[in-house]
Structure 1
Amino acid sequence: MIKLENVSVLYNKKNLAVDDISLDVERGQFVGVIGLSGSGKSSLLKTVNLLVRPSKGNVYIQGTDIGLLRNDKLRDIRREIGFVFQDFNLVERSSVLENVLVGRLGYKSSLKSFFGLFDDTDYEIAVDALEQIGLKDKMFARTDQLSGGQKQRVAIAKTLCQKPKIILADEPVSSLDLSSAQVVMDYFKQINEKSQITIMINLHDVNLAKKYCSRIVALKDGKIFFDKEVGEIDDRELQELYEKNQQV
């Protein structure tokens, strides 16, 4: 489903955020990416849909080198890759339903996108997405009236509106309390298991990663420190990952 081949990413045009990473993610996997701030987690995730273009290497989605795609062909691929941001990326003064419908814009012509024209099918998909994340009863509420956890669930519903095959989530629960974070992670897990949507998620909390993900990729200084199934990871590896990062 996702293949990164010798990918490097520069920041400030000279420093390596991601350093020669190769990675394969199979369809339906739930992959957690961990590591301290500055380890390259966000840059790695954003290369998957080319929000950040690699300075070296190739990115393949379902066997297609997406770095070679332009315009409509790249748009079509990105439509199948949902992205959930840490800061929700919602229009606070709009209703929950209006925010979720934004996920349908990738299926519209430029003119229809500009005027925000949606048909009955779009509304049905949006309502179904809200039902999947338990917020159907909030569809007409203003988004700024919701809690942080509810806003992140709206962001997930917006992503589901794209009908994605892949969901990328960049620290989606880092600003939430533990209870709200677990609710959000429960929904990610349900989506992964019921719809077989491939998920890559950056997490600061190692315990959440171990609880919800089936596989964990640990980054240190832009490189893969380990890539293992959850049951294969021992506490010494985790301690070494974080202690060594702290000494740099």
Structure 2
Amino acid sequence: MLKLENITVSYDGKALAVDNINLEIDQGEFVGIIGSSGSGKSSILKTINLLVRPIKGKVYVDDVDIIGLKNSQLRTIRRSIGFVFQDYNLIDRSSVLDNVLVGRLGYKSSFKSIFGIFNDEDYESASKALRQVGLGEKMFERADQLSGGQKQRVSIAKTLCQNPKIILADEPVASLDISTSKIIMEYFKTINEKNNITILINLHDVNLAKRYCDRIIALKKGKILYDGKAGDLSDELLNKIYQ
């Protein structure tokens, strides 16, 4: 289970990007986070794995408050929390396979990480992840030879290679056309259902959120305005969220 308790985030010590948010996410939930630019969507996701540290509050992963952990302990926790970025976060000149293997680095010693030393189990994990996103035949191509949708699928495969319990996705379809966006969302949905992986996904497209997510959290000015079933989100409330 994931739990945020009184989380407050500020980047300048004055304005609040996230304002005293409390949130609980059960294992296996597929949660869409919506809201206009500056509402706090990205800050929430980055706080969950402490890419951003809150000025107040606690973050619990499986009942462990991760804010007070030592670096070595936090590294172990982060292995179970994958992060998919809008800009793919790939090494363009490297092969698809090598990019996906990056997901295994959290399990490696510093020496093996620096020199990229992987074993048969790592390669099998990477191959399996690529097959899960329909890119098994692309593993030896360079990442910069792929389309935007394929690059995002590689990014998802890299995250799967971590063997995560939670996947955080920050606007992963924002730069893609609607047809490709739906394909990416289908993969997220399948991964959620078949692997029982908790997914929190920031989306600018409300229709995608309502179609694919079971639960929607709507933010405005760092506060939660709605937290409930996707089907119960009314047009009236949407107007309030985005006005």
TM-score class normalised by the smaller sequence = over 0.9
Aligned equivalent of 2:70:
70
Aligned equivalent of 1:156:
156
- Are residues 1:97 and 2:97 paired? yes
- Give 5+ residue unaligned stretches, structure 2: none
- Are residues 1:58 and 2:58 paired? yes
Alignment of structure 1 residues 77-226 onto 2, 5 Å:
77-226=77-226
TM-score by length of 2: 0.99
Aligned equivalent of 1:10:
10
Q: Distance in 1 between matches of 2:36 and 2:149?
A: 23
The amino acid that maps onto 1:177 is D
CA offset digits 1:78-128 (Å, max 9, x no partner): 000000001000000100000000000000000100000000000000000
After TM superposition, give the deviation of residue 166 of structure 1 in Å. 0.2
Q: Distance in 2 between matches of 1:19 and 1:58?
A: 13
Q: Distance in 1 between matches of 2:104 and 2:57?
A: 31
The amino acid that maps onto 1:28 is G
Aligned length: 243
After TM superposition, give the deviation of residue 14 of structure 1 in Å. 2.1
3-state SS of the aligned residue for 2:10?
strand
CA offset digits 1:185-211 (Å, max 9, x no partner): 000000000000000000000000000
The amino acid that maps onto 2:4 is L
After TM superposition, give the deviation of residue 154 of structure 1 in Å. 0.1
> Structure 1 vs Structure 2: percent identity of aligned residues?
67
The amino acid that maps onto 1:202 is N
Aligned equivalent of 1:246:
none
The amino acid that maps onto 2:14 is K
3-state SS of the aligned residue for 2:227?
strand
Give the superposed CA RMSD.
Answer: 0.6
After TM superposition, give the deviation of residue 144 of structure 1 in Å. 0.3
After the TM superposition, list the runs of 4 or more consecutive aligned residues in structure 1 that deviate by more than 3 angstroms.
none
3-state SS of the aligned residue for 1:53?
coil
After TM superposition, give the deviation of residue 72 of structure 1 in Å. 1.4
After TM superposition, give the deviation of residue 3 of structure 1 in Å. 0.2
TM-score by length of 1: 0.97
Q: Distance in 1 between matches of 2:110 and 2:94?
A: 21
